[in-house]
Structures are given as structure tokens and as C-alpha cells.
Amino acid sequence: MSPDDAGDDGSARRFDEVADAAARAFRLLPAVPRDLGPRDSRHPAARRISADPDTVERDLIRLVLTLVELLRQLMERQALHRVDQGDLTEEQEERLGETLMVLHDRMSELCAQYGLTMEDLNLDLGPLGTLLPPSD
């Protein structure tokens, strides 16, 4: 432990350093949307979840289904990788394929139930592109 870290004086000095660093960082970040400046016309604004009480349930469902779809696609890629590696028996491959098809069908049903499409779940991340890869 260094002398600067010992006692209340050292702790107070470290807290002041952290507070100063945070203040400098926050000065670099825009505080409100108007500070962001004009929107870049090359990248359309990402679709955002609205806080409108009339649509909040649908928007929340959309967010949850987006996360579930992302996880489903990751599981599917992992399963394909394991199949390619030959890690699974033929029976395991069959069961895995059936499970992934059921999950995909269930996701489609949930989207239809809430008036969404699978494309609605693919969030636009601006310059990074979309969250999910394009559908085949």
C-alpha cells in the first residue's frame, strides 16, 4: 500500500481524482439529443423503443423477442459447428435439428401474436449495421 492510499487524506485524494476524471469524461459526451448535432443522412436513425403507454407492451415484447432470437441464432450456429466437427451422434443431430426447427416456429408464432415480423426483431445499430445477420 502506498502512502497516498493510507488514511483519510489518501482516500479523499483518490476520490477527487476519480471525480475529476469522470467530470472530464462527461464533458466529452453530449448530454441531450440536441447536442448530438444533425443526423447523418447516410445512416438512418435506429428504430427506438417508444415510451408511449399504448405501445410499451409491444415494444417490450419486441425487445425480449429480439434477445431470444439472437440467442436462438447463436445456438443454431454452435449446433452447426458441432455437427461439422462430428461431435454428435446421428440421433443427437436429428434431435437438435428438430429442436431448432420448433424454436424457429415458436418464434414466428410469437411474432405473429404480437403483430411483429422476424425482420422487426433485427435492430438497426447505425454504422455497425444490424444486430442479426440477414435472413436467408
pLDDT of residue 136: 55
> Per the confidence metrics, is the pTM higher than 0.85?
no
d(CA 55, CA 49): 9
pLDDT score of 5: 46
pLDDT of residue 98: 92
CA-to-CA separations, 109 to 49, 131, 135, in angstroms, rounded: 21, 21, 17
Low-confidence spans in the chain with pLDDT less than 50: 1-6, 30-37, 39-47, 49
* Predicted pLDDT at 95: 92
Res 41: pLDDT: 47
